Structure 1
């Protein structure tokens, strides 16, 4: 039961191309990802070969322009791909989301020359990216980061540490935010740093509750030198670059959370339909049927919320508030649905022989990454009521 592909979800997709894309993803999940998920997560193995295959299939650059190796797909479609991947293995779904986030600064704020030089390899050349904003003492308060970049002729020299970096130590490139000027958000600049740059190193991966196959580590930059041609956007624009990326990244987390919740619902439904007590399947008992109905409603509501936000983004309309709402709701729903799935399976839900306990552990991190859910509430309230008075 641990190694089954997730149940197919009926999707409303805008084009035949999008439907073919989802079919391709489902075949890759069935053949390459789902069968090994339980074993590889328990062993803590990162599936780099899976990301290579995703890159070869054009799935690491879906929302980016085709002239730079991307797929030119709307976010509405890209997010549904993420959901399918995360339902099979969150390490893969979240990894694709983080890679897409790491490409955002270059795609949105880089020059035409920078995009032509770097983006094709990032979207379809087998490279894997990471995003360097958080620091040991600057998490939710990202504007207080201390990593510093100073001018040295035509180069920048970067010193500092970044924390909680997904793909830390294995990424081929890092989008790094560093202070180049005054304190606060106006003094931050974005840089594209090669993963093999001299002076860049990674600490031992964190020992985590879940997602053991996905390395999360601090990275240290000790005199890392990059040319000015790797500065993304204007000097001092880095915090705006970071926030723009996070709005889109939060939708990625919402889609991944919905995938995890869907996988938990599938596992609960399968178990409840096959497990018999008192002469009939436990799915016949009203108390359990109502629990399953609530779980399904949470999944559907989350999916509708993240897709509505994605359609705003695709239309070029403001979507920051809706992205925060989607991230908040979908990740809270994933935590609730996975917890309920463990309850449906009873004692078996608490064992590693069934996927429910792994999904429950994985769901927890989604309430934390890319802005805790407390931060999402602050963002939503700021849009509704304006900045709080001081």
Structure 2
């Protein structure tokens, strides 16, 4: 059974422009993304041509300034676009979220000259970005990263180290790289914009993952990569603060992806329940299954409301870190449960690769891990409530 595009759910779109934008996104999802999603994921193919189309359609820079090629859209709108794309294919929705994350440092902390030089190509020129924070020995403890950037007498920086779990590795046109320029700890980290074709940059073989096989994930090796100081983002030692600010927004992108994936699973389960007959009637007539579907729908609606509430705080310039952590935690846990339940609704058929729900289940798991595990999200939320753990 091929993937289908779910019937769109009502969105909270604040303007006529945003509603027109969503119409465009749904059309692209229906015509260009969903039809080949199952086949391409099974083959492990990344749809680079789709990202070229998304860039040409103005969808890779939505929350950024139009003066530099962005879309001037609030996060409230941008995230609903991400959700819609993820409903059609998680690789695409996640790819847009990662690209937006990779662009954040320059957009928010770059100089006017840097933004003018690089952002137009990054946001609307067909480029694709990657975000390089994690390393083989530093995941949740990101401040312990070992990749080092050394400044030479001429002013250039030489970066050496290995980054791990990098989405778009080997395909990205630019990498936002966090590297150590000072002493151990968070205060010794600086952000850099590294070209994808920089001499000394290489990529390991892609990781063999249980899901999201169409989205490449690999280690990135930086072996004496030389870049000018003009590609340093922000002040020396400001990199960790930049990384955390980027992740606050990035967590909302993951939350939207999770809701989109869960919506796809729910729509598949509802359609199956209406057509599958047992004991002489559709299984949708049985109360046990109806209650299961009701719980799935409630988890999705609650997650959507949570990420939108956090987005509106961000758009209003209010603190949103706690709400972003809550949204990422709830939405990804909800996606995991909803996809498990969708497989249950389809029974034995749901366990086969002939139906998309088994793929949705495999894909949901990684969302509980990326951009801060859900255990880290609980730490962030507790810190907001109780203050830091002083042990």
Superposition TM-score tier, normalisation by shorter sequence: over 0.9
Structure-2-length-normalised TM-score: 0.99
Shift of 1:2: 2.8
* Structure 2 unmatched ranges of 5 or more: none
Shift of 1:154: 1.6
Shift of 1:12: 1.9
CA distance in 1, matches of 2:25, 2:163: 33
Counterpart of 1:46 in structure 2 is 46
SS of the residue 2:71 aligns to: coil
SS of the residue 2:101 aligns to: helix
SS of the residue 2:388 aligns to: coil
Matched, 1:74 2:68: no
Shift of 1:215: 0.3
Counterpart of 1:166 in structure 2 is 167
Matched, 1:361 2:326: no
Contact preservation (8 Å) 1:178, 1:189:
yes
Shift of 1:381: 0.2
Counterpart of 2:211 in structure 1 is 210
Contact preservation (8 Å) 1:186, 1:236:
yes
Question: What does residue range 87-166 of structure 1 map to in structure 2 within 5 Å?
Answer: 87-152=87-152, 153-166=154-167
Counterpart of 1:318 in structure 2 is 319
Counterpart of 2:200 in structure 1 is 199
Question: What does residue range 287-366 of structure 1 map to in structure 2 within 5 Å?
Answer: 287-366=288-367
SS of the residue 1:225 aligns to: strand
CA distance in 2, matches of 1:135, 1:271: 42
Shift of 1:4: 1.0
Kindly provide the CA deviation profile for residues 165-213 of structure 1, in whole angstroms up to 9, marking residues without a partner as x.
Answer: 0001110000000000010000000000000000000000000000000
* Structure 1 unmatched ranges of 5 or more: none
Counterpart of 1:385 in structure 2 is 386
Kindly provide the CA deviation profile for residues 213-269 of structure 1, in whole angstroms up to 9, marking residues without a partner as x.
Answer: 000000000000010000000000000000000000000000000000000000000
CA distance in 1, matches of 2:33, 2:275: 25
Contact preservation (8 Å) 1:180, 1:188:
yes
SS of the residue 1:304 aligns to: helix
Matched, 1:279 2:275: no
Shift of 1:86: 0.4
Contact preservation (8 Å) 1:324, 1:380:
yes
Aligned residues: 390
SS of the residue 1:210 aligns to: coil
Counterpart of 1:222 in structure 2 is 223
Contact preservation (8 Å) 1:102, 1:129:
yes
SS of the residue 1:313 aligns to: helix
SS of the residue 1:113 aligns to: helix
Structure-1-length-normalised TM-score: 1.00
Q: Which runs of 4+ in 1 moved over 3 A?
A: none
SS of the residue 1:236 aligns to: coil
Counterpart of 2:267 in structure 1 is 266
CA distance in 2, matches of 1:86, 1:25: 11
CA distance in 2, matches of 1:337, 1:76: 23
Q: CA RMSD in A?
A: 0.5
Shift of 1:7: 2.1
Kindly provide the CA deviation profile for residues 272-305 of structure 1, in whole angstroms up to 9, marking residues without a partner as x.
Answer: 0000111110000000000000000000000000
Shift of 1:380: 0.2
Matched, 1:254 2:255: yes
SS of the residue 1:150 aligns to: strand
SS of the residue 2:138 aligns to: coil
Question: What does residue range 178-189 of structure 1 map to in structure 2 within 5 Å?
Answer: 178-189=179-190
CA distance in 2, matches of 1:169, 1:67: 29
